Amino acid sequence: MNSDIAVIFDMDGVICHTNPFHSLAFREFFAVRDLAPSDEEFAEHMFGKSNSYILSHFFKRPVTGDELLELEQEKESLFRKIYEPHIEPIKGILDFISDLKDHGVKTGVATSAPYANLDLILSKIDIREKMGSILASEDVKKHKPDPEVYLRSAANLGVSPEQCLVFEDSFSGVSAALNAGMYVVGVLTSHTKDELPPCNSYIDDYTALSYDKIIQLFNK
């Protein structure tokens, strides 16, 4: 049994491949405001970014306070409506999490998404009971690339940052995990290796992963 290490998962692009559906929701959201961002702009300024950053970037002005909450609610409820019929886990992740739990590894989720999105996904993908820490955007003051969400996850799981391995798919997410002093596996659902900061390892999905494989990352 190995309870002295922890594996922490981001959600969007890591547990589920949600980003295409976030793009659809944002396209609809922006279209009614006569804005039409390109795919390149989305890749650079949406994936892994907080809603305050995304909205401020595309509206070309700071979006904060009550306005931010209102717009965020509109966009995220749009996302949930579009995504709900399509929810499925990334290939191999459920078996991988079961293997980790069989070996006594602590696990958590740390997402920049709001709780409502997390709850929707966890209502369809049965991993909530396996997670010793679940944090969403409402739980932190500073968003990724700030390490707050990962440092809080480690504290919740009772391990030090260097005992943690994080699965992330975005530049800001990988940066947050590295800033926290953790090992990182880059999940290549939204970006290529070249578009992410250097990670300890990279995967397309979880089919080839196991407890034994990740232990090797800690021992390198």
> Which residues are part of the catalytic machinery?
10, 12
Please confirm whether the linkage preceding 147 is cis (ω < 30° from 0). Answer: no
CA dist 15 and 91 (Å) reads 9
CB-CB contact of 170 with 13 (8 Å): yes
Residues 6+ apart with CB under 8 A from 202: 185, 186, 187, 188, 193
**Which positions ≥6 away from 124 have C-beta within 8 Å?**
87, 88
How many Cα atoms are found within 13 Å in the side-chain-facing hemisphere of 58? 25
Q: At 151, phi and psi to the nearest 5? A: -65, -40
